[in-house]
Copies of this chain bind each other. A is one copy, B any other.
Amino acid sequence: MAATRLDQIDRKILAELQADGRMTNVELAKRVGISAPPCLRRVRTLEEAGYIRGYHAKVDARELGFEVQVFAMVGLQSQAEADLSKFEQRCRDWPLVRECHMLNGEVDFILKCVAPDLSTFQNFLTEELTAAENVASVKTSLVIRGAKDEPGVPFDVLEDRLARNA
């Protein structure tokens, strides 16, 4: 794995920034056990190498009036690469679709969507998603409640793994 290119300090940096993306560099340096300048240099390197894709505030959608979250399983008629790409591009253009993943199995894509209310989503569903070219089937499930939401990497698992391989 590419993680081999990283030493323990780099991984600690990633873990800390994943947990708190606004941590100051001095605090980060203190936690990983080096001084501020090399710490900052490492962060920049990790960013440029693509280990860090960006930093984002986690904004509570429900608090902002997006009370509906839906997972949609989408099946297409054609799975030719050109058609897959076309569908993916449409997902990128739909603001209500926040995530789009291509899957194996009977379903081709899973979409995570948000909407201010059910009628807005239903409108999107019938007018846009189901109606879109090449879409064969759509099954949706409303999110009743969220129990865990920590996208990213389980660094404890990673460290266990590296320790075992060492």
Contact = CB atoms under 8 A, between A and B. Distances in A.
Given A66-B153, A71-B110, A21 B99 contact: no
Interface in A128-151: 141-151
B99 A149 contact: yes
A104 interface: yes
Interface residues of A, number: 70
Most chain B beta-carbon contacts within 10 A, residue among A21, A67, A147, A161 = A147
Interface of A: 1-3, 6, 11, 14, 17-22, 49-61, 63-67, 69, 71, 88, 91-92, 95-105, 107, 109-110, 112, 114, 116, 141-154, 156-158, 161
